[in-house]
Amino acid sequence: MHNRSLSRRSLLAATTVTAAAVASGVAPAVADGRAREDRLKQLISGMSLEEKVGQVFVPFVCGTSATEPSPEAVEANLAILGVRTGAEAIAKYHLGGIIYFVWSGNLQRPQQIADLSNGLQRAALGTPGQVPLLISVDQEHGSVTRIGAPATLLPGAMGLGAVGSTDAARTAGHIAGVELAAMGIRQNYAPVADVNVNPANPIINVRSFGSEPAEAARLTAAQVRGYQRAGVAACVKHFPGHGDTAVDSHTDLPVITHTREEWERLDAPPFRAAIAAGVDSIMTAHLQVHALDPSDDPATLSHPIITGVLREELGYDGVIVTDALNMKGVMTKYGEERVPVLALKAGVDQLLYPNNMALAWNAVLAAVKSGELTEARLEESILRILRLKDKLGLFDDPYVSPAEVDRKVGTRKHLATADDIAERATTLLVNKGELLPLSKRRQKNLLVVGANPKFPTSDKHTSVPALADALTGLGFLTTALPTGESPTTAQIDAAVAAAAGKNAIVVLTRNVSAASAQRTLVRKLAATGVPVITVAIRNPYDIAQLSGVRAALASYCWGDVEMRAVARVIAGRAEPGGELPVPVQRADDPTKVLFPVGHGLSYDD
């Protein structure tokens, strides 16, 4: 029978240092730490096996409310979790954490997010265990942004890599952390610590700080400090390194061919730096690294990689969380029922987003009951998770205030800082004849065409009209004509016709390959004689595939903050401050570099 009198409040009330501890010569802080550790262990000992299993899971739930979701969210929860609401999911599975997504209906606006967080915490504290939740999100910023305006939108990792400033990286992390904490989100799956040494990487790419391990290490550590100073657990990812892959682990199992020496030189430095900075959590990668584990198990399920390398060699004793367990990369070798058990046996602590929550939860429960997974091993992970919750103050007060949301989310100061960082990230690669900055007297009439993706946080806003609107606001006469990433012959012809009488053409490009019709668009627009300015809104590598360009910029993302910065740079209202954090190879000979790391022009050059 479990002792239910050991409640959350009685166990983790403010610790008083005893006279005996003082008399023994033990420092008060040490005595307090030991006392809190003992109380966490007592809390674990009072849990049922089912409650222990639940603490390691971090699934999603659908709906904007913990108790009153929409009919559509209720239907989705019933289909996925077998319950109607988030509160019921917490009670059924004794959950230790929840992850928020846009598509699950969790992230509509800051006040609603705060209310959802409070509702979920009330549900958790209403269960017998009375253990608060660790609520998380994937808010990397840049191309992976879940929470949109009025929250502050910041440049992503490669944009910060282009700035190259630890102060900017730390500040961006702190702003993001302050706003997340105000909404009740206390763990963020950022920053990305992968070193993007492969230009063909389909999944990391601009989510990385760059291709230089030492620079990525500096900026990773800075972001960790920024987030954690704001009271949010940072989570560097994806260990042991996802930067040299040409396969997306969402759809298949990538293979890293680095030798052990190459791994130490290329992949390990940012993770070592994050650990030295005291990072609260580290996320695993679903990929094979033969040099670290000859069995070729996915790293998430590899005891030699998770326990052998990360725990024992690198000395990390914080929380290890899996990447999402619904991804094909982790389910390729083993079925989804085995994956959560094998991940825990490998040494991870949190099981993120299993494909089938009931199947995964019951598989872990059965593994403990059968002895395949010891209860002691499970309790090791729970203790790490509870330590983190305690460090974040969740046992003292897990709730957030609506007034704090208004005071801290999307403030003028935060927004102004985001704009400044985005300007400093914008990189001028080419500027023939000093075309830029444009003059609204001599070059007033502009055409904006090209790739037109939706903003990462909005279906309503897209990049071409956003840039056109920003330029219009700066005094230009601007025509917006989206042609997309695969423009048809008719769309290209329409763009060429629209160029007549214009003083300059701005072409947004995204992921230009040798076979891309975007190359034809740029070439035919350049043939009109009207000066062409390209803006690579994702990969900075695009410029290697384009000809006839008078000026070229890289913005590293296509969101509102980046498009405003590009407009100000084009108009001369801001200097292009960025320098390439990755090399751009020549298209005709990838062994040769067109623009090296550190390349970036200014208007004084």
Mean pLDDT of 331-339: 88
Q: Where are the domains of the chain?
A: 1-46, 50-408, 426-595
Q: Is the pLDDT of residue 324 over 50?
A: yes
- Residue 475 falls in which region: left (phi positive, over 0), alpha (psi -120 to 50) or beta: left
Alpha-carbon distances, residue 24 vs 4, 17, 20, 29, 370 (angstroms):
32, 11, 6, 13, 44
Mean pLDDT of 577-597: 95
Q: Which two tokens stand for residue 129?
A: 């265990």
pLDDT at position 307 = 98
Instruction: Give the β-pairing of 477-482 and 504-509.
Output: unpaired
Sequence-separated (6 or more) residues with CB below 8 Å from residue 445: 476, 477, 501, 502, 503
74-79 — which CB contacts under 8 Å span 24+ positions? Answer: 76/104
Instruction: Give the β-pairing of 427-431 and 319-321.
Output: unpaired
- Among 567, 569, 521, 529, smallest CA distance to 546 is for 521
Question: Binning pLDDT at 50, 70 and 90, where does residue 605 land?
Answer: low
Sequence-separated (6 or more) residues with CB below 8 Å from residue 502: 445, 446, 447, 479, 530
Question: Binning pLDDT at 50, 70 and 90, where does residue 8 land?
Answer: very low
Least confident of 353-357, 409-413, 562-566: 353-357
Percent of the chain topping pLDDT 90 = 86
Sign of the four-CA dihedral 585, 591, 592, 598: positive
Question: Binning pLDDT at 50, 70 and 90, where does residue 74 land?
Answer: very high
Q: Is the pLDDT of residue 528 over 90?
A: yes
Question: How does the average pLDDT of the chain come out, rounded?
Answer: 93
Mean pLDDT of 133-162: 97
Phi, psi (rounded to 5 degrees) for 265: -80, -40
Mean pLDDT of 379-383: 98
What is the tens place of the pLDDT at every residue in 178-237? Answer: 999 999 999 999 999 999 999 988 889 999 999 999 999 999 999 999 999 999 999 999
| CA–CA distance, 437 with 448 (Å, rounded to integer) | 16
User: How far separated are the first and last CA of the chain, in Å rounded?
Assistant: 76
Decide if 323 is catalytic: yes
Query: Domain 50-408 class?
Result: alpha beta
Q: Is the pLDDT of residue 22 over 50?
A: no
Mean pLDDT of 247-259: 84
Question: Binning pLDDT at 50, 70 and 90, where does residue 335 land?
Answer: confident
Q: Which two tokens stand for residue 457?
A: 């946080």
| CA–CA distance, 251 with 331 (Å, rounded to integer) | 10
The one-letter amino acid at 322: T
pLDDT at position 14 = 40
Matching residue, tokens 């052990």: 260
Please say whether the beta carbons of 373 and 351 come within 8 A: no
Mean pLDDT of 378-390: 98
Phi, psi (rounded to 5 degrees) for 419: -60, -40
| CA–CA distance, 464 with 481 (Å, rounded to integer) | 7
Phi, psi (rounded to 5 degrees) for 552: -145, 135
pLDDT at position 427 = 98
Question: Binning pLDDT at 50, 70 and 90, where does residue 504 land?
Answer: very high
Helices 412-425 and 560-570, axial angle in degrees (round to 10): 60
Mean pLDDT of 572-585: 97
Least confident of 45-54, 418-427, 453-462: 453-462
pLDDT at position 29 = 63
Mean pLDDT of 51-70: 97
pLDDT at position 390 = 97
- Among 197, 273, 282, 206, smallest CA distance to 240 is for 282
Residue 355 DSSP class:
S
pLDDT greater at residue 334 or residue 362 = 362
Least confident of 127-131, 366-370, 507-511: 127-131
Q: Is the pLDDT of residue 1 over 80?
A: no
Please say whether the beta carbons of 267 and 259 come within 8 A: no
Question: Binning pLDDT at 50, 70 and 90, where does residue 27 land?
Answer: low
Least confident of 116-125, 445-454, 457-466, 499-508: 457-466
- Among 325, 332, 314, 319, smallest CA distance to 269 is for 314
pLDDT at position 251 = 75
Which fold would CATH assign to domain 426-595? Rossmann fold (3.40.50)
Virtual torsion, Cα 436, 441, 447, 453, nearest 10 deg: 60
Alpha-carbon distances, residue 335 vs 45, 295, 332, 344, 363 (angstroms):
32, 17, 7, 15, 11
pLDDT at position 32 = 78
Question: Binning pLDDT at 50, 70 and 90, where does residue 28 land?
Answer: low
Mean pLDDT of 331-360: 94
Of 267, 297, 323, 560, which residue is the catalytic one? Answer: 323
Please say whether the beta carbons of 383 and 318 come within 8 A: no
* pTM > 0.85: yes
Question: Binning pLDDT at 50, 70 and 90, where does residue 19 land?
Answer: very low
Q: Is the pLDDT of residue 21 over 80?
A: no
Phi, psi (rounded to 5 degrees) for 512: -75, 125
pLDDT at position 604 = 79
